[in-house]
Amino acid sequence: MNFFDRLHDRIVSVDSVVSVGLDPDPKRIPDHLQDYDLPRWAFNRRIIDATHEHAAVYKPNAAFYEDADGWRALEETIAYAHGKGVPVLLDAKRADIGNTTRQYAQLLDRADAITVNPYMGRDSLQPFLADEEAGVFVLCRTSNPGGADLQDLELETGERVYERVAALADLWNTNDNVGLVVGATKPDELEELREQVPDLPFLVPGIGAQGGDAEAAVEFGLAKGVGLVNSSRGIIFAGEDAGEDFAAVAGQAAKRLKGRLNQYRE
């Protein structure tokens, strides 16, 4: 089974399309965890314990782990999530050429899926695309305001850059392992992209702290019931003022988001 088959089964089993972003900002980890050997791992473990029944996937962002202790924390986090039966999507936005991109692709030895940056072209993504069991989410239309600086540029064909990226990703999907990252803050563009690429699952960030459109995220983000709607800070830091009860509050936030999104699922 490839990643999207496994993700389909996970979505069905927990009745959820929620992606929980595990972005443990060291400055926001509760004080009572700061003396642990790996505070980020201690934080993530408690979040996973509280949210796994509502999580279709966990999405750690590599930026929060890029130091020696961070990589150790990430490895423990991935193994623990797998122990709970939850796949892991590493938000790394990697791409390069030659030996470098082959090294980046080794991240898929641990994680089940990864986000990649398409702006160096297909050869920069080939080692990811060639992994038939992994999921590859191509950055397409991001939720940050500055994404328009490049993604909205109009080509000679009349397409926007993000529309060309979607079309290329569809062509690259020869192993049925490609999805798109499409933000929830522009629901009209979500709808247009779904019409353009009806079969590609979307990873939809921007729900929660960024105020994205939950209904559009579900209606247009799923392809045959498969897709993900991500919330990071809105879940993991929901209990920031709750002291040692922070994880329980995060669990409640994940459950609420699942219920909110399920209103719009068929």
Instruction: Choose, from 84, 93, 186, 258, the residue flagged as catalytic.
Output: 93
Phi and psi at residue 192, to the nearest 5°: -65, -40
Residue with tokens 């980046």: 104
Cα atoms found within 13 Å of the Cα of residue 179, Cβ hemisphere only: 29
The separation between CA 71 and the C-alpha centre of its own chain, rounded to angstroms, equals 18
Of 246, 249, 250, 244, nearest to 32 (Cα)? 244
Residue 219, burial from CB neighbour count under 10 angstroms (0-12, 13-18, 19+): middle
* CA–CA dist 134, 11 (Å, integer): 17
Decide if 234 contacts 224 (C-beta within 8 A): no
* CA–CA dist 156, 70 (Å, integer): 44
Alpha helices in 66-121 (DSSP H): 68-83, 98-105
| Catalytic-residue membership of 186 | no
* CA–CA dist 113, 185 (Å, integer): 23
Strands of the 202-204 sheet, one edge to the other: 57-60, 18-22, 228-231, 202-204, 178-182, 135-141, 113-116, 89-94
Residue 129 tokens, joined = 């695309």
Catalytic residues: 93
